[in-house]
Amino acid sequence: MIKITDGYEGLKLDFQARGIPADSPGLRDHPTFLQAQGEDCAYLNKYAAFVVGRPYTADYLQHARTVITNVAGVLFDALKTNGRMGACVDIAGHFSRILEKEGIWSCGIKGSLAISFPLASDEASTHLWSVGCGGIVTGHAWLFAPPFSIVDVAIRQQAYGGNKRAYLPDVNLVECPSLADVEIEDVITPEARAELTKSGVPRSLFFSTAAPGMRDVLDIFSAHTCTSAQGAVMKYCPMSVLATDSPLEIIRDLDRQGRTPYKIYQDKFPSLHQG
């Protein structure tokens, strides 16, 4: 497994030494990067660390804030119209690819999401866990895209019961969330915890046994909590780095009534940036 020991400058030199141009968000599509990733899937963590460690100017961050906010609204509307639930991985991939077109740095994250609701709501807490009895799954997916630490277009479009959606934002864009500790109960289902215990695995080794790559990712992305305007507390726990292999032009996941992600980009972005 690759350990991220170098800072931004070290990672930049590593990419350049391999002939990978380091000045564009599309560097992870470079053939040499893909070759290195094919030899060790953890090489993608280097891209994540590079995005996190990059210096960003105030002008860049202001521009990125505008673009990300606009794209988030457009993709949420498309996802809501599409009617899909639980499409967080797809929509995060679409989002990242659109941002690349606009020269905006981002990185997809797969992990767990725990949501607690106000006491007066009478809604039970909800967990989208990343580890079940069958191993690692995708509980939830979102983006890191400076200036936002959390960019989540799909949080409301999950198969929740009760009235839980009423306490969640359409789009969750958070620049400065609170740091959080990752607890076993945030990541591993009750059934999987029971199975680990039955197998004789001590609680202190649950993470290293069931989610061996998680600690490396937590060295790059912290776990965070944030609170919606309606009082729901959302805890995001990173598990792995997400990247889609397909370019935006051929992705078909939102292809209802001709509205592919690329068509959405073509139709909506010129109007978003006029003036």
Print burial letters for 204-214: b (CB count within 10 Å at least 16), e (below 16).
eebbeebbebb
Q: Tokens for 23?
A: 């000045």
* Burial environment of residue 44 by CB neighbours within 10 A (0 to 12, 13 to 18, 19 or more): buried
pTM: predicted TM-score of the whole model, two decimal places: 0.91
**pLDDT value for 267:** 73
List the chain residues with pLDDT less than 70: 1-6, 246-259, 261, 268-275
Residue with tokens 């409301």: 156
Residue with tokens 């991939």: 93
**pLDDT value for 273:** 46
Contact 199, 101 (CB under 8 A): no
Residue 7 in 3-state DSSP?
A: coil
| DSSP 8-state class, residue 167 | G
Instruction: Give the chain's end-to-end CA distance (angstroms, integer).
Output: 47
- Which of 142, 145, 153, 5 shows the shortest CA–CA distance to 63? 145
For the chain, where are the alpha helices, taking DSSP H only?
A: 8-17, 31-39, 44-53, 58-82, 88-101, 184-187, 190-198, 206-210, 214-218, 261-272
Question: Could you give the dihedral angle defined by the CA atoms of residues 14, 98, 96 and 103, in that order, rounded to the nearest 10 degrees?
Answer: 30
CA torsion sign for 183, 223, 230, 72 is negative
CB atoms inside a 10 Å sphere around CB 257: 8
